[in-house]
Amino acid sequence: MLYKIISGLYEIHKLNLIHCDLHDGNILNHNNEKDKDDLENEVDNNLVFISDLGLCQPVKSSLKKDNIYGVMPFMAPEILRGKPYTPASDIYSFSMIMWEFTSGVPPFNDRAHDL
């Protein structure tokens, strides 16, 4: 699933866009069970979508520093410091999604230090 998410983000970045609001709530997973034989052959039938593209901005866009978009704790630290969004901001958000998906605990949660 993580590979599908980063592949989708790659496609967004290939269009010279930045998502600006990538978090776990914007990842949609659909289990497409049309053919049970595919499951036996280990074909991955899950469809993964990155949603909420309403805040997407062109890479060269001059976003106002006053405007902070996103969901804590998925926002890159530089955004909180008033820096502009970059593709690296989306990669940081993806890393927080990876953390949550692999650990089962949201990033910077009180329980995260117990892992």
Distance of CA 63 to the CA centre of its chain: 20
pLDDT of 14 above 90? yes
What confidence tens digit (pLDDT) does each residue in 64-86 have? 556 788 898 999 999 989 899 99
Q: What residue segments make up the domains of the chain, in order of their start? A: 2-114
Q: Which fold has domain 2-114?
A: Transferase(Phosphotransferase); domain 1 (1.10.510)
Q: Which of 35, 42, 41, 50 is nearest to 97 (CA)?
A: 50
**pTM: predicted TM-score of the whole model, two decimal places:** 0.81
